[in-house]
Structure 1
C-alpha cells in the first residue's frame, strides 16, 4: 500500500505542506555532508540517519531519487588538524572519509547517488563567483571576493534572520576588507602552508558556502526538490548558499523544500569541547549495536531536539530486543509493509510513530507468526537490522567485565571507583541491581 501524499515541513514557508516535486519521475535531494578533519559526532550521525530515512521513503514513493551528499575536504580546520598531526592534508582527509563511511555503514545507511568532494569542483565554484561579480552583487577587496549582502533585498528570507542576528552571525568574520560586517567570503587569498588553487583573483581557496552552491548545481541543476541539513546550518550557511545561488543563476527559488533536523543535546546540555561532552559516533558504536543507535536517533521527531542520555539508550535497547527476537525467526520472504507504519513516515517523516508501530507489530508477531513478515519488511524499510548473536555476546561480556571490576572495587572498599563504574554502566543504558546472589543487570 502506498500513501496518497508525502507531507514535509518546509523551512522556507514555515509550514507542513504536500511534497510536490519538480519532476515526479526523478526526485532530487542535496544534503550537507561532513567536513573531514576528524571523526563525526553523534549529532552529525543524527542528520545522516534522518535523511537516510527520508531517502528510503522517497525511493518507495517515486521511480527515481538522486541523492547528493557532499564531502567538504577543503577547510581551515582541515589545514590546522593536518599541521597539528604533521601529516599531508590528503592523508588526513582520506583517513577521515574512510572512518566516516565505516561509522555510517554500521548505522545501516544506504549509499547515496553521488558523494562529490569539494576539491574536485573548484572550477565550478570559480564560475559561480565570476557570475556574482559580473552581476555586481560581489566585490574584490584585498585578495578576497565577498558577497555584498546589502545588494540582495531578499537576504534573510530563508532563515528569517533579522538585521541584529545577521550582524551577530557575522562577528566571527568582521574584517577591515569588508564593506559591511555581514558580507561573507566567496574566495580567500592563499596563506602559507595551506592548500590553494589558481583563480582570476590570485591563488586562494573557496569560501564554505560557495562549495555547496557549485556541487548542487553540477549534479542537480538550477532548481531541485529538497535541500537538507542540521538546524545549525540554517544560518549563516544555508542563508548564504541560497543567496549566492539565487543571484548567480537568476532563479527566485533554487530549492523547493528546505528540510532541517533539530539539534542533539547530551544529558540536557549542548555538545561542546569546553564541556567535554562531545560524543564521537565511532565511540558510541563501540558500545552499542548500530540498530540500537539508529533506533535511538530516530526515536524523536527529526525537527525536535533530541536529548541523548542513558534513559534513551535503555529504551531503544528494550524496544530493539522485542524486534530482534522476531527478526531471528524464519519468514517466507513475502513483503508486507504495514499501512500505519507507512502513514507515519508520510506524515512529515514521523519516525517515532513508525518505530512504535514496528514495536507493536513485533509484540504481535511473538504471539502470532502471521505478523513476522510485516516486522521483517518494516524493519528492513527503516534500516533496522538483526543484531547478531556474536555481537550480543560481545556486548554482554563487556558488561560482565565492568560488573566484575565494580564488585572488586566494592570488596576493596573503593566506593568512589564503584560509583564511577555504576555510572558508566548506566550511561550505556544498563540497569544493575545488587542482590545477595550477586549483581543482576538488564
Structure 2
C-alpha cells in the first residue's frame, strides 16, 4: 500500500497583523506594529500550496481561527455586546485586544503533534493539539484547533484525537515545531524525534537565560505516552540553550528532517554526537539508513539562520530519492546563506534542489515555509478517510483564491483591530469557508 507525507498548510486569517506578540521571536518583535497586508499574506500561502500540488506532492489546507476572539476577552472581564467588548478592550487594554486578534494559528506546525499509524500501539494516526502555553495569544487556539482537526480527520477507525496537555508551564507543548519523524518509507515504522528546550522537574538540564524555552521534556514524554509509541521508536534531544537565547524559539528554526535525513545547524543541539548515534541505531533497527547534513557555523551563523529562516524550510522527498528544499526569499537575500545553498546543491549530495518562495508577509511576522505546514503521514486508506474538502485541488485553489479576494483587507494596522466591522467581516468569511472546506460548525460563533 502506498503512503504519503501530506502537508496541511495553514490558511492565513483575515486579521493577519504585526502585533509583535512573541517574545523570543526576533522577526515578530522587530516588525511590531507595522501595517500588514492580510490579502497578500493569504495569497502568498496559497501560491505555495498550489506550487507543491503541481509538483506532485500531496497538499491540504487547515482553516484559520475566529478573530478577534471575543469569548477570550469576555473571560477576562469585558462585557456587553460583541462590539462593546471590542470597544472597551481597545480603550482599557489594547494589548489584550491585539492578542485576541492574532492570526498566529496560520503557523500550523504548532497546531499539533502527529504520529502515523505505523508507529502507534493501536495502529491509528494519533493527533494531540498543542497547548502553546508559553504565549497567551497562542494558548487560546487549541479548542478551535481540536474541533478543526476533528472535522478534518473524523473517522475514528483511523484517527485518534487527544486534548491539549494541562495548560501549565511544566507541560508547555509547541506541537510539531519541535517534532520530526525519520523513516525509510512513510508507511513503515519509524523513529520519532522530540526536541525540548528545558525540563520542568530535572535541574540537570541547562535552561536558556534570556528567552523562554517553550517545549518541556515532560510535555514530549506525555505525548509519547498518549500516542502509544514504542521506546525503541523515540529519541529525545535537548535544544542548545544558547541558540534559544539568540532567537531560535522552536527547533524548526535551526533544524529540519524528512525521510532518513536530518538537516541541522552545528549549534542546534546539546550532546549532538550521542543524539545522532541514537537516531542512527534506532532507525537501523527498522530498516532505515539515517543520514545527517550539518551546516557549520563557519558557513552560516546562528544569526544568519534566524534572519533567513534557512532551517524553517520544507525538506521534501523526490521520487528518485533526492531531496528538495523549499526556502523563503530571505535565504536568497542573505549572501552567506545563498552561497552555502549553492554549494550544497552542486555537491551531488542528498539535497539536490532549492526552490524559493515569496512569503514576506508570514516571514515579517516570524514564520517561514515550515511554520506554515503540519505534516501528516498517511497510507492510501487513511488518506481516503480524510475529509476530502481540505485536500488541495485546482478547483479548491480557485475557490480559496476567490474567497480571499472577496473577504480580505489589503491593509491592517493596530487601530483597525478596534473596528467592530472587522469581527463581522471575519465571521462572514469563516462561515463561507467552512462550507468550502466542508468542515461543518467548528467556530464558536457557529456553535453558540
TM-score range, shorter chain: under 0.3
TM-score scaled to structure 2, two decimals?
A: 0.26
Higher helix share: 1
TM-score scaled to structure 1, two decimals?
A: 0.26
